[in-house]
Structure 1
Amino acid sequence: MDFLVGTFYTPKLFTLRFTPSKDTSKCKLDVQHTSEAIGGHSWLSLSADKTRLYTTVWASPPAVASYRIEPDHTLTFLNSQPVRAMSGYVCSSPTTLYSAGGPTGEVFSLAPDGSIGPFIQTLEFRDQGGSENDGARSGVKHGDFGGLRHGAHSVDLSASGNQLFIADIGHNCVWSYNVSSTSQQPGKLENRQKWTASRENDGPRHTWPHPNGKILYSVQEHSCYVDTLSISNKTSLNLISGARIIPRNKDEKNYWADEVRLSRPASGPPRYLYTSTRGLEKETKGYVAVFGLDENGLVQGEAFDIFETATSGGIANAIEPAPMVEGQEAEYLAMTDSQEGYVFMLAFDGKQITEIARTQLIGEDGKTLAAATAVWL
């Protein structure tokens, strides 16, 4: 089972191979290939057919980029396009690439070869008529990342591709859009609506849609909650429930929540919801929490397990569930760590999460590299 990993600061992309086993002591994780990149790629997103990779580019000036995935799972650079502010996240439909980061976002068409085509639309997230620093937070641990710590941070399409959601930390909200299906402007966003988070200190960071099209999950960076939201046909969102994703005896001020993802069963609806949280200080370890879901995507009670990670996670601790392995009951997750450059493999057996393998990303100079995010091939 191969997957790709990017870094925050190094112009390299890594292909890793996970070899599962029912005897977890025999699971293996190795770096198979290293491909040249054009910058640090903090976020990776695959095309639906997994032949193209789209990335953020942490460089000056900021950009988004596309790569072709070769049969041996190495990568070949296709092209890049500039964006106004550092992008935190990209996603794509067959015709369109979406990016969001800090005060702005962009919509691009995709060329027939999968490269990034002409610019379509700019998205603005600053308060209309407000100051240039609306939502800004000074003195935050780990820095501000060009406005990502107090602005728009993610962009995700619904399973049908006709709705799009952007979590905005600084405005304490999730923006929702309809995606145009007209032949004149396919992919253009319209009918923007705003869902304000339920707690003043939430800070929505990432969202993730359920495949049924009726549920959206929102992970809150500051309050360390994950909220379950209902989606209407007109993209309006409403809170159904919320669940804390760190232990009850921990102070959320010492953490910053990171990721929310669904399990990937071979058939049927997702059974589990996974979230991850980072420690703000190097000495404060992060967590991965897992919740049960009913067939409609509603969270069922408290977390099955809240697993303490090996490090704080640095600015990563991002999780990505693997496709279900035939003949095995355990579910697997890749987790990236920027603090020590580790990529971990975690397993969930229906009761608890365990670490089953790890490897470390090392540069040519022998120094560890800041692992960012992973996507499964």
Structure 2
Amino acid sequence: SRLKNLYVGTTGYFQSYAITDDLSLTYSSNVSLSSDCSNANYITSSSASPYTVFGTPYGGGCSSLAITVDDAGVLQEATANVTYDSAGGVHGTWMSPNNDFIYSADDMGNAVWAHSYDNTTGEVTEVQYLAAAEGSNPRHLTVHPNGNWVYVVYEEANSIASYKRDTTTGKLTFTNTTYSLLPSGYTNTSSYWADEVMFSIPSSNASATAPKYLIAATRSRTVGVPGYVSAFSLDSTTGAITEQLFLTPTTNSGGSANAVSPAKFSEDYFAITDSGSNFLEVWKIDATGSSTTAAAVAHLALASGPANVVWYS
């Protein structure tokens, strides 16, 4: 939230780069990974002091790491593990609004995990293991800012699943409700793999706990065959999904990405990456009358496959 550092995952390391006044990057430090868990994959940062960073290497049985930062936000050292079982392979994590729980989407182990985190002692404790239905494969997840919901993208099932969250215990309850990220009637679901789920970012502090949209995307496994992007409206009080607003083909497959990144300046914009066709796009959500649509409004070709994009402002 301080916009002073960029944290990066690369083979064998989690790295930190300082963001300079001219918005260039200067390498600061790294935290090394073991040789059997070297696929640095996902990074989640606490939103309040001591701003612990959680780095997740993707692989069978690999733990997520709780990494300390110094006063400038530079990565220092791993001080605790978020452990899973030997069959697990976590691909995405997210912190609770109060930074006291971390949730993990276990793609290999087909489950969702909850761990408590004490930001004073640094202790991490397993709270819950919640198996998903066969053929789901949770990939990424996000916690509603009001703390009441966790929304999980099922990679293999190509859907979004809703979990109710107990704000005291941190435990989740699956609501048995999922929303497809493919058009109705699709039978070739194995040709797609769902990827990302994110909340739009309210521009006003007064509405910080009431985002307007939940945005999600799924990828095609074949370059030249589009993936899909979707948005859901949310109840402004409870945070529950009220309606799937649109399900629109992306401009290409997305490659291994199709990762959505909501804009900070308006809830009606988000970026999306395509690592298969080497471009980045900005999309706009247009709510006119009773219908809501979305379309690309800017396109930037890149030299090599972009996996993720981060908004600075």
Same fold (TM over 0.5): yes
Aligned equivalents of 1:278 and 1:118: distance in 2?
A: 35
* One-letter amino acid of the structure 2 residue matched with residue 98 of structure 1: F
- Deviation per CA, 1:186-231: give whole Å up to 9, x if none: 3x3113311222x211100000111001111100000011011111
How many angstroms does 1:294 deviate by? 0.7
Give the residue type in structure 1 aligned to 2:117: V
1:156-195, Cα deviation, whole Å (9 max, x unpaired): 111111111110011111111111133xx23x31133112
Report the counterpart of residue 158 of structure 1 in structure 2: 96
Q: Which moves more between the two structures, 106-115 or 225-234?
A: 106-115
The verdict on how the C-alpha distance between 1:82 and 1:189 changes in structure 2, with shifts beyond 3 A counting, is same
Structure 1 counterpart of 2:224, one-letter code: E
C-alpha distance in 2 between matches for 1:336 and 1:75:
21
For residue 120 of structure 1, the aligned residue among 79, 82, 106 is: 79
CA displacement at 1:281 relative to structure 2: 1.7
- In 2, Cα distance between equivalents of 1:209 and 1:51: 24
Deviation of 1:69 after TM superposition, in Å, equals: 0.8
For 1:245, give the aligned amino acid.
Answer: L
Q: Which residue of 1 aligns with 2:225?
A: 284
Deviations 1:102-121 (A, max 9, x none): 23121221122222112212
Q: Give CA deviations for 1:219-273 in whole Å, capped at 9, x if unaligned.
A: 0000011011111121211122221111113232110000001111223211111
| 2:6 equivalent in structure 1 | 53
Distance in 1 between residues matched to 2:265 and 2:182, nearest whole Å: 26
Number of the residue aligned with 1:98:
54
CA distance in 2, matches of 1:66, 1:116: 6
Task: Report the secondary structure of 1:375's partner residue.
Answer: coil
**Distance across 2 between alignment mates of 1:76 and 1:370:** 22
Q: What is the DSSP-based 3-state SS (H/G/I as helix, E as strand, rest coil) of the residue aligned with 2:256?
A: coil
Equivalence for 1:71: 21
Superposition TM-score, scaled by structure 1 size: 0.74
In structure 1, distance between residues paired with 2:274 and 2:119: 39
Cross-structure match for 2:105: 167
User: 257, 261, 265: which one pairs with 2:198?
Assistant: 261
Q: Which amino acid aligns with 2:115?
A: Y
Specify the code of the residue in structure 1 equivalent to 2:184: R
Q: Secondary structure at the match of 1:114?
A: coil
> RCO higher in 1 or 2 (8 Å CA, sep ≥ 6)?
1
- Aligned residue for 1:190? 125
Query: Is the 1:230–1:238 Cα contact (8 Å) retained in structure 2?
Result: yes
Q: Which of 307, 320, 325 is residue 261 of structure 2 equivalent to?
A: 320
Q: Secondary structure at the match of 2:90?
A: coil
**2:208 matched to 1:252?**
no
Equivalent AA in structure 2 for residue 298 of structure 1: A
Q: Which residue matches 1:357?
A: 298
Contact kept? 1:50, 1:69, Cα under 8 Å:
yes
Query: Which whole-Å CA distance do the structure 1 matches of 2:65 and 2:158 have between them?
Result: 28
Compare 340-349 and 245-254 and name the one that shifted more.
245-254
Partner Cα distance (1:176, 1:51) in 2: 29
Counterpart of 1:147 in structure 2 is none
The match for 2:279 among 342, 350, 363 is 342
Deviations 1:294-345 (A, max 9, x none): 12111113x21111011111111100010244xxxx7111111101210001
Say whether the 8 Å CA contact 1:260–1:274 is kept in structure 2.
yes
Matches within 5 A, 1:358-373: 358-362=299-303, 369-373=304-308
Which amino acid letter does the alignment assign opposite residue 246 of structure 2?
D
Indicate the structure with greater strand content. 2
Partner amino acid, structure 2, of 1:300: T
Per-residue displacement from partner, 1:100-142 (whole Å, max 9, x unpaired)?
1223121221122222112212333333xxxxxx46xxxxxxx
The residue aligned with 1:333 is 270
Distance, in Å, in 2 between the alignment partners of 1:263 and 1:108 is 27
TM-score norm. by structure 2 comes to 0.89
Q: RMSD value over aligned CA atoms?
A: 1.5
Letter matched to residue 70 of structure 1? T
Post-superposition Cα deviations, 1:60-102, rounded to whole Å, max 9, x if no partner, equal xx11000111122111110111123112101122421211122
Map of 1:236 onto structure 2: 171
- Number of the residue aligned with 1:210: 144
Residue aligned with 2:7, SS: strand
Identity of aligned residues (%): 27
Deviates more, 1:345-354 or 1:90-99: 90-99
CA contact (8 A) 1:195 1:236 kept: no
